[in-house]
Amino acid sequence: MSNKPNPLKAIQEKLRSLFAGTESKSDKKPGAPKPFLNIWTVMIIFCGLVFLQQPFFAPKRQTIPYSQFKQSMAEGNVDDIVISPETIEGMLRGTPGQKFVTVRVNDPGLAKEMDERNIRYAGRTENRFWGYLLSWVLPLGFFFLIWRFTAKNMGGGMGVMSFGKNKAKIFAESDTKISFEDVAGIDEAREELEEVVDFLTTPEKFQKLGGRIPKGVLLVGPPGTGKTLLAKAVAGEAKVPFFSINGSEFVEMFVGVGAARVRDLFSQAAGQAPCIIFIDELDALGKARGMNAMGGHDEREQTLNQLLVEMDGFGTNKGVIIMAATNRPEILDPALLRPGRLDRQVLVDRPDINGREAILKIHSRHVVLGDDVDLGKIAGRTPGFVGADLANIVNESALLAARSNKEVVESSDFDEAIDRVIGGLQKKNRVMNAHEKEIVTFHESGHAIVAESVNLADPVHKISILPRGIAALGYTQQQPTEDRYLMTRSELLDRLAVLLGGRVAEELVFNEISTGAQNDLQRATDIIRSMVAEYGMSDRIGLVSYERQRTPMFLPQGYSSEKNYSDESSARIDEEVSLMMEEAHRRVHKILSNKRALLDKLAALLSKQETVRGDELRAMMNS
């Protein structure tokens, strides 16, 4: 027997092993080698099989013309003839084992000639079943395998049969390694969610007294405050599976897909109860019904209806707690917020100064800090910052220190990181002419002197004429001494004076004004208009608050031009805003006129150093 390798057999074995070892993308382990099999490999193998079919599958026989067959038969060189409706096959006596085939023609005397020459012959009927199988069924089966392979490797719900599968990321008990130790600055929200952990770990403690475990918790708050982190911490503390999905991943262009995904998600969660389902950005799915401008019962509303049924209905899932997060609670459907669905609403607000310091400690655990770094002072310089902002500052400071080849992260790196986050990237290559630089210098000096001259403004931390961001040619940074939640009329007027300090300084020095005060004037106008139309702080308008347009609760907002009052009231408001602005302008003009020498001295120092610290400014004012 020959040991010569059969190339066809090798190809078949390779194809069998490839199909047996194919995995979908979702089943692959990280770091595993990429599979050899893909759609192009399959096509190449198929073409190779077709090309090799004739030499390897077909019997080895010689095709001869019918005339040659007749001549060989007359010479007595053929035997064992098999006659079929279309062909004549047989053996050649001169060459042992050599078969021949020829196309049959209409020859009525063929049988008589074979009898006369004592040639063995037989007839055969044609069985077309295997021919049809090879020509139709096998190609169809092959292309079906290609389709299955392609749909499987597309993954993520891209296959036609997987539209109704949910796209939730499932974290097992051991995968969720976040705990409450990783959460800081939001102590009240943390305490609320610690009870949820008790519900999941010891439900009998509450059920024996007749209590009902809450079904859902809604986390509301500004972006970046740690809502998703809190949900993961709950799952990590409770040691239960955690299903995480975004609200927008439910809704597709095909009707019914979102509802099917909701059913599939809750079905999986019920099989792994107790567990947590976390829906991030709930407003993408749970917007109040009837808000569709085009009308009709659209796909999003069907998905929301299915979610409401799964959260509360005849098919109640025990041990499944739903957590959701949003920064737009005002647009959610009321049916989502009623008791029995999202029972608890937990506010995850911006951290105070102590919370910011605790957050900075968590994010700097793996950062090598210098001895001069005081996280308490950094927390004081970042009022209004959320956890994501503080994490960004720590990361930026570490990158800046590494860029300068430092061994530790110093306080100056944190200062530069804060300036970068607040004002933007420093424009080192932006060159201003001498006159523009002088205008910017006096402008920022005016802001700083007014801020230190009034009683209720935040103290100055730094003055700089280094351009930053898109349009900032300079900046004056103030550092609050404490977190404030209420503002008095006197405090607002002092803030207004600081904003006008730059514009008034330009008027005093150059007897000219520039476009540099545009943002200052805009912010000053917003303060005065709010004082007049909202806070009732105008003696002429009185104790009236004119309602503003409804705006997002936790997202940035400005004053709306929409009004629900008369034109006469609008004219009175505009007049009062102008009068209060003129009064503030006169006050600032008087302050800077009395301190003109200090203004020139500070501008000269700022022009020389480009940056002046708040301590230097206060030393100049006290000398």
Asked if residues 348 and 324 have their Cβ atoms less than 8 Å apart, the reply is: no
Q: Which residues contact 71 (CB under 8 A, 6 or more apart)?
A: none
Say yes or no to pLDDT of 32 above 70.
Answer: no
Least confident of 7-16, 259-268, 400-409, 490-499: 7-16
Query: Residue 405 — left, alpha, or beta (φ > 0 → left; ψ -120 to 50 → alpha)?
Result: left
Q: Which residue range is the domain that position 75 belongs to?
A: 62-123
Q: What is the mean pLDDT of the chain?
A: 78
Distance separating alpha carbons of residues 92 and 71, to the nearest angstrom: 12
Pair 464, 484 in one domain: yes
Name which of 54-63, 331-340, 359-368, 522-531 the model is least confident about.
Answer: 54-63
Range name among 146-155, 180-189, 583-592 with the lowest pLDDT average: 146-155
pLDDT digits (tens, 9 = 90+) for 237-272: 888 888 888 887 777 655 667 788 888 888 888 888
* Mean pLDDT confidence for 90-106: 77
Q: What pLDDT score does 504 carry?
A: 94
**Per-residue pLDDT at 335:** 87
Q: What is the DSSP string of 166-235?
A: ---EEE-TTT----GGG--S-HHHHHHHHHHHHHHH-THHHHTTT-----EEEEE-STTSSHHHHHHHHH
In this structure, are 339 and 370 located in the same domain?
Answer: no
In which element (H, E) is residue 459 found?
Answer: none
Question: Which sign, positive or negative, has the C-alpha torsion 398, 401, 405, 408?
Answer: negative
Residue that terminates a domain, selected from 283, 312, 347: 347
Q: What is the CATH number of the domain that holds 91?
A: 3.30.720.210
Residue 314: pLDDT band (50, 70, 90) is very low
Integer Cα distance of 389 and 382 in angstroms: 9
- pLDDT per position as a tens digit, 37-71: 455 666 676 666 655 555 555 556 778 888 888 88
Same domain, 418 and 450: no
pLDDT in tens, 110-143: 888 887 788 887 877 666 566 556 666 667 777 7
* pLDDT recorded at residue 611: 87
Residue 46 domain-assigned?
no
Distance in angstroms (rounded) separating the CA atoms of residues 533 and 548: 9
**pLDDT value of position 359:** 92
386 vs 206, residue with greater confidence:
386
* 376 in the same domain as 398: yes
Strands 275-280 and 320-326: parallel
Amino acid 167 reads K
Neighbours of 444 (CB within 10 A): 25
Answer with the one of 371, 403, 423 that is the final residue of a domain: 423
pLDDT at 485: 78
pLDDT band with cut points at 50, 70 and 90 for residue 317 = very low
Q: Are residues 333 and 398 in the same domain?
A: no
At 562, which helix (H) or strand (E)?
Answer: none
Same domain for 618 and 508, yes or no, is yes
Which of 61-75, 110-124, 361-375, 459-473 ranks highest by mean pLDDT?
A: 361-375
Task: Judge whether residue 578 has pLDDT over 90.
Answer: yes
Q: The domain that contains 222 carries what CATH number? A: 3.40.50.300
The rounded distance, in Å, linking the Cα atoms of 29 and 24 is 10
The winner for highest mean pLDDT among 286-300, 465-479, 531-545 is: 531-545
Confidence of residue 231 (pLDDT cuts 50, 70, 90): confident
Q: Which pLDDT does position 509 carry in this prediction? A: 92
Q: Is the pLDDT assigned to residue 503 strictly greater than 80?
A: yes
Q: Please indicate, yes or no, whether residues 179 and 323 belong to a single structural domain of this protein.
A: yes
- Is 45 within a domain? no
How many CB atoms within 10 Å of residue 242? 24
pLDDT at 28: 42
Do 410 and 261 have their domain in common?
A: no
- Residue 392 sits in a domain whose CATH number is 1.10.8.60
Give the Cα separation of 373 and 367 in Å (integer): 12
pLDDT, mean of residues 587-599: 93
pLDDT of residue 19: 44
Q: Report whether pLDDT(284) > 80.
A: yes
The more confident residue out of 19 and 40 is 40
pLDDT for position 21: 42
Asked if residue 203 and residue 87 are part of one domain, the reply reads no
For the chain, state the CA radius of gyration. Answer: 41
H runs (alpha helix) in 272-351: 299-311, 334-337
pLDDT band at 13 (very low <50, low <70, confident <90, very high): low
25 in a domain, yes or no? no
**What pLDDT, on the 0 to 100 scale, is given for residue 316?**
47
150 — pLDDT class (breaks 50, 70, 90)? low
Residue predicted with more confidence, 92 or 176: 92
Q: How far apart, in Å, are the Cα atoms of 451 and each of 329, 341, 618, 621? A: 38, 51, 11, 12
How many domains would you assign to the chain?
Answer: 4
Selected catalytic residue, list 237, 396, 444, 576: 444
In a domain, 81, yes or no: yes
Domain match, 584 and 441 both: yes
Domain assignment of residue 137, yes or no: no
- pLDDT value, residue 443: 93
Q: Percent of the chain at pLDDT above 70?
A: 75
| Encoded amino acid at 130, one letter | W
Reported confidence tier of residue 199, pLDDT bands at 50, 70, 90:
confident
- Whether residue 380 is found in the same domain as residue 481: no
- Characterise 537 by phi-psi region: left (phi > 0), alpha (psi -120 to 50), beta (else): alpha
Concerning whether 249 is annotated as a catalytic residue, the answer is: no
In a domain, 588, yes or no: yes
CA 247/CA 168 separation, integer angstroms: 10
Residue 154 belongs to a domain? no
pLDDT at 373 over 70: yes
What DSSP line would sit under 43-84, residue for residue? Answer: HHHHHHHHHHHHHHHS---EE--HHHHHHHHHTT-EEEEEE-
Q: Is residue 163 part of a domain?
A: no
Kindly state whether residues 467 and 613 are assigned to the same domain.
Answer: yes
Tell me which of 290, 321, 347 is where a domain ends.
347
Q: How far is CA 349 from the centre of its chain?
A: 21
Distance CA(238)–CA(210), nearest Å, equals 22
Looking at residue 350, its pLDDT comes to 87
Mean pLDDT value across residues 480-484: 77
pLDDT confidence of residue 136: 63
